[in-house]
Amino acid sequence: MGKFVKRLNDYSCIEKNDTIDITYLSHYTSNIKALSNICKGEFWATDIKDFGDKCEGRLILQRINEIISKLSIFSYDQKQYVYNLIGNDSKIENFISEHRTAVLSMCLDTDSDYLWDNYATENGYNIIFDKNVFVNSLFFLTANGERKGKSYVKHSKIIYDSKEQVEIIKKEINDLMALNEMGFDDAVKIEYILRHLMYVGNFYKQEYDSENQYKNEQEYRFLINTVVPTEKYPEIEEMIPKYCYNDKNNCHYNILRFDEKSIKTIVCNSRKAKENLENIIMDIPVKIRKIDSEKHLS
């Protein structure tokens, strides 16, 4: 591989946010079947085009397009290449449909009222993980059945600061445009740069909109990287995880496996939620969430 493709696979711009002070991660859910799978050491990472929020992938690329349009990095012709790929909603939908991005979302707050209310409801759950044990045990299987470990999964805190997002995009574009790859003209390079930025863009969000306070989620994401061009480097195809389809919810996903011993406890939002786990969860501590009044009394 040339320097351009090697740099394309460099995610240090977001990995630097994975600071050592992160001890625990939480995953809030109201889906008992999903919880059962997780407790067996499996997370189903959903493809971005099948997210519950169908706009998320489009918003990532809209933001990238908006930032690029205000930068002087690209020439007029190069900006036209960008427009031809992600210049409007239909182009963005087409761009996303041709690329796979499997995403797993967790969060830093192990007792967030915001996340309980939005993701775990009255009878939901909060699964709390030892972050280091979880991360160090991560792996997935490729379509050929080969095991690929944690180095193939990128993970970090979400970046909510818009100025930092712009600086990241500027640096990534500058670094990549300065490198060459045999057989890659500007149009091809820009397409792969946009792929790269789409993956990087999964690690930032706006702080809020009219309906949501995204910053309150304190999100931490995991991303399976498939950005390197498989048509030019077919050996990469062997590293891509097995792609699965859930016909019950019409979603595509990759399976991330991990050591279930990384699960420290399951917190239930109600007594009924705890009762629903009887005969399902045997060897993981389970407790009922304390409401604010109970916290003050304890």
Per-residue pLDDT of 217-260, as tens digits, reads: 889 999 876 555 555 555 555 666 777 777 777 777 888 999 99
Structure token pair of residue 279: 């005969």
Q: Which of 143-152, 160-169, 180-189 has the lowest mean pLDDT?
A: 143-152
pLDDT the model gives residue 280: 87
> Most confidently modeled of 8-12, 175-179, 264-268?
264-268
Q: Would you say 125 and 267 are in contact if contact means Cβ atoms under 8 Å apart?
A: yes
Supply the pLDDT for residue 227. Answer: 55
So what's the pLDDT on residue 137?
Answer: 96
Alpha helices in 186-290 (DSSP H): 186-201, 271-275
* Residue 252 · residue 113 · CB < 8 Å: no
Instruction: Please give the average per-residue pLDDT across 155-181, as a whole number.
Output: 90
Buried b (16+ CB within 10 A) or exposed e, 193-224: bbbbbbbbbbbbbeeeeeeeeeebbbbbbbbb
Q: What percentage of the chain reaches a pLDDT higher than 90?
A: 38
Q: Pick the closest to residue 119 from 244, 19, 196, 214 (CA basis).
A: 214
The residue with tokens 């761009």 is 95
